[in-house]
Every structure is written in C-alpha cells, then in structure tokens.
Amino acid sequence: MRYIAFDDIPLAFSTSEKKTQRIQRAQFGDGYSQILSDGLNRDIETWNCQTVVLPIEEIYSIESYLLSQKGQALTWTPPNSQKSFARPITAGELDLGYTNITSISLAGYTRPADYTVNLASGLITSVTIPNGTVVEVTLTLDPKTFLLADGWTISRTIPGYASLSFELRQVYV
C-alpha cells in the first residue's frame, strides 16, 4: 500500500478541463451591445477528474484526504500546468493571457537582459526583441485553489480495485 499526494493522483486520460470567462453584456435597442469582463477573477476553471484503476486501499487514502478537507478549498496543480507555445512580440509587449506564473523562459533570450515579465499578470516587455518576432515560450503555472464541486464517486472495477471520480471548481481565496 502506498500514500498518494493529491497533486500526484494518477488521472485517467478521460479527465477533462473546461475554461470559461464571466462577462457582462448590455443589449441596446438599436442592436448595439456592450460587453465587459466581470471582475478581477473572471476566469472559471472546472476539472472533471477520474483516477486510473487503483488498489482500493489507495482509493480510500485519496477519499480520506477529501474527507479531511471538510468542504474547505484545496490547493492543486492541474496536470497541464506546464505549457509551450509560440507568439509574436508586438510593439515591445506580449500579453500571454496566462496569469500567476511560477517560471517562464523564451527560447534564445535571457531574462532580464532581453525581456522582463510580470509573473502575476503574464505581461512580457522587451526593448531588444524586434517587433513581430515570434518567440517560443515555455512556462509553468502556479498551483490553484479548488473546491470539490459535488462529492465523489467510487466505481469498483474488479475485486480489490476501483477508480474515483470527482469535479473540482476553481475558487479565488
């Protein structure tokens, strides 16, 4: 029997992530509408998680952790927290769209000589990288705070083995 930390739970490939943004919309009589983001914490992230099939003792270990939380928020690092992609620098800036970044690097460039970054807002600024240059970005996001949405389900597969399903919703605390 082994202990599995919550960040290390082996999730099934079927685990899915849904991201939405809360907005406000005002519709006017002439067909014109105005849209704006709703607050500082407008991003909503929901995870439908399912573990791989594990020995029932390991499922109970995870369940014990969930029970011990007693409805309190838990800190979790989602499985896709490391990202790599390419984007162009425009007018000396690049808004990554990602916030609360733990670490970041741009391939072929050094920080702070070539660029600076606000890890909280995800904004890169540079006076040395030419305008329009496509840069390769690798970043790691901070762990996030989630609430268990609606309990969990233990599904027994074969004697002595089961999987655990649960939904996590991001909260800002």
Give 9-35 pLDDT, tens digit per residue.
899 988 998 988 777 788 888 888 887
List Cα–Cα distances, 64 to 29, 61, 68, 140, 166, in angstroms: 55, 5, 6, 29, 14
Q: Which helix (H) or strand (E) holds 41?
A: none
Task: Tokens for 8, please give them.
Answer: 């290390």
Helix (H, G, I), strand (E, B) or coil at 154: strand
Q: Whole-model pTM above 0.85?
A: no
Q: Tell me: pLDDT of 161 over 80.
A: yes
Residues in the chain: 173
Identify which of 81, 114, 110 has the alpha carbon closest to the alpha carbon of residue 98. Answer: 81
Give 48-92 pLDDT, tens digit per residue.
999 999 999 999 999 999 999 888 999 999 988 999 999 999 999
Task: Tokens for 153, please give them.
Answer: 């389900």
Domains of the chain, start order? 1-78+143-173 (3.30.200), 82-142 (no CATH)
CB-based contacts of 39: which residues, under 8 Å, 6+ apart?
22
Over residues 117-123, the mean pLDDT reads 94
